[in-house]
Structure 1
């Protein structure tokens, strides 16, 4: 009999790859999961409706950040970047200088993404604000946006895998070790960050491949589309002024500060938006149009997140997540190599469907930990197995904020497809190395 989780996630991925809208793919897959999982249509819809609320907060956060980002474009900040970049690029005389500028931009974005998980724990909130003003520079230099998606996703995922600070402290200590202990294994003296170093190294290898091989070539984008969205007029000598740029920078700092202190992207985005109104950078008569434009820009991301919450709840309601994990146990036998590989693959499927590695751990730990103990895996190997099985799929899931976040910043002009330019590249470059390095960790630790 077909497992509802395997069937529905396979259907969702297939439809998405065929360019069926992700929201439609998730809705159809939810109904399929319910029917295959033994739920009637009414129960499936009830489960879906109960799950969509989980994505409401994040969707509203994205809508307000979108409005804030649209307002930033009216402040002249993107135009300032465009003006300075154009002048600097005109002064570039050789390929070596161009490479230095390119890798400086990539390093800056990687540092920003990395810092968003620990130093300034704002997670994906920085992307719709920081990335759009840099798109003109990246387009002028013909940087492949798929590379930017890979860099941002690496910075969003890898830090929580091995650094026990910020979101990493939550993932490694509050969720991973806590659930492993609840599942029957003693965790005193175990450093989860050390156990996850080898899997994290796999992600780093994937990043190197993306930067220096897969997307090292130039890629052309329509500059006119971007200029139209960001209000950039290259023929205008003064597309910005010091007062509006200063207001924009202050609004960005305030938005981030409020989010950190209140743990709310919603109020952070709203505060930044109000600064533009109060300083006169955004005229009151234009505020409604700009706000609507920004919310429209992020609407698809929000709808995907809301729909994904309903899809995940239907998967849970079928009960087939547990049966999938249990069925894999029958195949493993007493073989540690086969057991480790199947644990990782099942974790990959679950996380791709749910869209959250943090939510996957409680589902798989209860079965994986007793099984791994029975097969005589070491404590560090068990931590690496459960942690990697959960992290797998965070990069490469259509419903994960680790792919939705980069798309939100890179697709403001409609030239970055969520599935083929964010999901597929990150899946290939991170999930495949994670499986390999997670399996190695389980074997050698």
Structure 2
């Protein structure tokens, strides 16, 4: 029966299951008593939910906790091998696919390089093929384990528009214009039938991972920066559940400046993205090794800088200032308590230049918000985007109270559609006369 709020008993049961699963996932093992306090539920409600989850194999008993002068309390936890998740990172140089269990322990991985030297090819057919090949490979890997496959999450470059016909990817810097990626992935019939697919911006999946498992834990307001070939960010605040991707790399930092991959001039990405950074080093007289990709070229640039090469040092110091100025914009706009720097290039540069970037950021930012922000490196390493992508189906699983996603309806056979059209017509001709 619906309540005045429009919520039903079924909604309440689902929300209770969600609350218990989330608390056990992040803070377990826990006793039923501790669960009730953490989830804000009565002891009876907690006992009922835990009994359901135990019967379904979603949680299990995990020993007991002694109580002073009383009976020991049984602990329960989420069963890690009860489900599996796939995370996909459509990156700048490769497509990475990883299979995880519910504890986010890696079970298998596959990588496919994107073709081309220097400027990579982002042909959507090639990318979709790499994703499908990777999914098939990790699912067939020896030792991949059992458990229900809960879904595939994919982090992509660009803006993801959710429409009634499925997500569309607008990746201007990689030449994608309203690409129906999910539809392209399902068309060949290689994905398991009914498997949920979630697609989101790569910076947002990185932010999701750092907030759930990395350097963002405990922060209420944070910005997670992805620094790779390009530059992106995810803003997380109380009013932005799950975070919001922002095209930080395309803020203008220099009027009539360098041409960016997006086609505009003076974007932050045109100065601080790894692709532009290597190009600026070459233009200044640097000599990147022949036959290496951006990651190899950036490694060489850092080595030259560490050896005291004047050209390399100058380019790196200028880049640190551009990054600092860009972070100052984020500080002034969103006033976060924490900024996390991630992405493969961010992690390479951060270990050596983070202090310089921090100094420039605080110099360019307003004093009040600058005084409360902490700028640190992300903790999850180069796999953070895949971890965050796998969180997409995991978060959906929790939101449904640990129940399987409903199967999409099977398409009606052609004869049924034809019959429906015939019956819907205002008149059916029979025996030379119209029958109303």
Bin the TM-score by the shorter chain: under 0.3
- What TM-score comes out, normalization by structure 2 length? 0.25
When Rg is computed on C-alpha atoms for both structures, the one with the higher figure is 2
* Structure with more contact order per residue of length (Cα contacts < 8 Å, sep ≥ 6): 1
Q: Which has the higher helix share?
A: 1
Q: Which has the higher strand share?
A: 2
